Structure 1
């Protein structure tokens, strides 16, 4: 981490010539796309997924489901953008699944694989072998599944699918990842007795993502009891039953909007993200409150969400436990603030694509900053920053954090900016378009690097009408 000399192949992060003023169309949500693919694979009838994200993580999910027998046809409707037709079929092996370094793929698909007829082998990137899977593996074993992981609680592993699973009640420790809970809930309707998941560990991170899972299950026809319904903390129940084939339009990925909105904040400019939903379960919606605290102002209108910077960045003390994925960009903004910031509740980020806390501290400090790790977060003292290499450790959110710093710090070189294709295809082009005011209406269409090719040519029906949504209260809260 000590070599700060710019090298060939590093991306020179552009420095903003002044206040940014742009409209940026953010591609669809990775979290919604991959959950929708799993639910569609379990459905009793075909469904449509419109405006899905095409990125490495979603391509890995789609290709894994194809390997288990699900038909996914990708088509382009000139009048309405891209749509995927998902035709469920009998799940079967043998098959080998490449999870890359995608948490949703490595955690959501073992419960799917136990319902396949035959063995499913799971492999992935080197870092994926270091990420915890014990919560899903242990729970599936207690429910009767046969899984061979040689006692690692991690990849590589083989799920010996028996075509069905009895299901029932199970206790897990999901304190290292809320995806353990979502993984079991998403396949729960296909278990013979459904599933009851009880979290028994420490504080549960990223709870909004579980709320997203529950909401999507219900909209697919599942009967779900959540802690909010039963009053029983940390217990979720999904009844056995058929799921509906849906026609779903994917929302923009609000977490991926973070670097673009941050650009308005740190340059004192203005950025609009079209199609920002008025009601959503996406954790990224918290950006409105976070960046308002840090000196911006937000307006949600028919145009979308517009964030306007004030020319000053304020320090904050915030608990990011539920929205840890926003922490890298928030940390970058905090390094440019008017005082010391404290980000708490994010110890679980040490188990993400990389140890994000150590990486953020090392890379911001390498540019002259003063960042110290705490037991569960980061303490960030603003210092004069200088150029140098910002390493990404193959972590897409580290790359976008480096880009934000580069807006106001000349000479920042982001190593391996291509890692952003994990969830945000064509990020360098989107970033350049934001800085020079060009539109980006082609964001997320077929042909982006790192995604699978278009398959099939079914006719795309017209999308269903979108129901009216209530206005957001003036204080920005959701009902």
Structure 2
């Protein structure tokens, strides 16, 4: 088996100490399972930020508890936000958020881990507090782009001192000089989170916020639409320019709220794709009738690739394999791309995934990582600046590296379902957004074993 590069940099990093190889379960009969996936990380951390900025307490039902959300909860507590967890009989967690009478001004230290939502969403919260805050995170977090949101905060009067590379962690921000400006222009070509971060805090900034995307592409616009819809649902006065590249938020109070977080539809992807990979059937409970999550695209994607898809009156989305996995040409798959690319490697015809260049700045350079790892199982993969061309080949066993990236780990598990002898590096990295993944996967796999 091939066990080449391992962690953050797909090109050169050696395997790190403590590597654990997880034998990915393989099935010879179709799985037949109904799965409850944990709540959405994207929505959970948006709601948490907004609850900390609200004028009265909020209640968030079905809160995701994972490394990313624990980091967010810890960050909010540092600013004086009160957090109370209530474990429900159904196993879910309700979080009650009590805003601080006044947000702490520091000096504070915030640990971001590898969570993009923490490293991008919390600095604007610190700006609202006019706080002095030192931010740092995991070693690979120091490689992730931060400059656009920090440039925007500097335009609003914050000063930033970088301890290393400009525009990246670690840095210390002093927002004591925050002021109102007519308009902020931001480059969102490498991450939609730069725009979402400012929109989430916009109502609490001096004079509100007028934000405009700089010329060029906007990465993952679906996630910006999620943020806008969330703000509208909670009563924030936000308008979007006709061209979709400008946003205006009036200053004002946000009242406390009560919400229930949807399941994470992106994390549902590997389970739904398992129906095609095993020629079986998988259902996801509590699938919403409508959603702003990018994972809602799985319905269209899997149908195009040959699956039968049905959303029942019981709220279960069921995907059934038909014995056929067709290649696909698909644009803007965003965070779905690792799972989708793995499924494309199992298809009967080539695929082309475009508009995903921003994935090079995620937990790892996902395009380079997918090019490396899919080649190990027999696919011919060509990565360009913003695309993957995948031509399936004869399948073979391999050791697949996760690069400390939860979506690379789950993509490896999907490949192992169809290819006997696959091992995945450090499956525990899935704890970033889905700590239950190994057990949920094993439970799903056990339905095939019973059928066999």
Q: CA deviation at 1:405?
A: 0.4
Secondary structure of the corresponding residue to residue 255 of structure 1? coil
Does structure 2 retain, via aligned residues, the 8 Å contact 1:73–1:86? yes
Q: What's the counterpart of residue 48 of structure 2?
A: 37
Secondary structure of the corresponding residue to residue 267 of structure 2? helix
Residue 222 of structure 1 pairs with residue 236 of structure 2: yes
Cα distance, 1:344–1:79 mapped onto 2, change above 3 Å = closer
Q: CA deviation at 1:218?
A: 1.5
Does structure 2 retain, via aligned residues, the 8 Å contact 1:172–1:201? no
Cα distance, 1:139–1:334 mapped onto 2, change above 3 Å = same
TM-score (normalised: structure 1): 0.87
Q: What's the counterpart of residue 206 of structure 1?
A: 220
Does structure 1 retain, via aligned residues, the 8 Å contact 2:379–2:394? yes
Q: What's the counterpart of residue 313 of structure 1?
A: 325
Q: What's the counterpart of residue 134 of structure 2?
A: 121
Give RMSD over aligned pairs.
Answer: 1.9
After superposition, what is the alpha-carbon deviation per residue over 1:218-244, rounded to whole angstroms, capped at 9, x for unaligned?
2222100013xxx14400111101001
Q: What's the counterpart of residue 342 of structure 1?
A: 352
Q: Indicate the larger mover: 393-402 or 143-152.
A: 143-152
Q: What's the counterpart of residue 118 of structure 2?
A: 105
Residue 324 of structure 1 pairs with residue 334 of structure 2: yes
**Superposed counterparts of 1:51-450, under 5 Å:** 51-78=62-89, 81-89=92-100, 90-92=102-104, 93-149=106-162, 152-162=166-176, 165-227=179-241, 231-303=242-314, 304-319=316-331, 321=332, 323-437=333-447
Q: CA deviation at 1:167?
A: 4.9
Q: Which runs of 5+ in 2 are unaligned?
A: 6-14
TM-score (normalised: structure 2): 0.92
Q: CA deviation at 1:77?
A: 2.9
Distance in 2 (CA, whole Å) between partners of 1:313 and 1:242 is 50
Does structure 1 retain, via aligned residues, the 8 Å contact 2:282–2:320? yes
List 4+ stretches of structure 1 deviating above 3 A. 4-8
Distance in 1 (CA, whole Å) between partners of 2:220 and 2:43 is 15
Secondary structure of the corresponding residue to residue 414 of structure 1? strand
Distance in 1 (CA, whole Å) between partners of 2:283 and 2:57 is 35
Q: How many residues are matched?
A: 433
Does structure 1 retain, via aligned residues, the 8 Å contact 2:157–2:175? no
Q: Indicate the larger mover: 166-175 or 416-425.
A: 166-175
Distance in 1 (CA, whole Å) between partners of 2:88 and 2:440 is 23
Q: Which runs of 5+ in 1 are unaligned?
A: 439-479
Does structure 2 retain, via aligned residues, the 8 Å contact 1:52–1:82? yes
Q: CA deviation at 1:80?
A: 7.9
After superposition, what is the alpha-carbon deviation per residue over 1:166-193, rounded to whole angstroms, capped at 9, x for unaligned?
3541111111111110000000000121
Q: What's the counterpart of residue 470 of structure 1?
A: none
Does structure 2 retain, via aligned residues, the 8 Å contact 1:39–1:220? no
After superposition, what is the alpha-carbon deviation per residue over 1:59-111, rounded to whole angstroms, capped at 9, x for unaligned?
10110111111111111132683200000002111211111111111000100
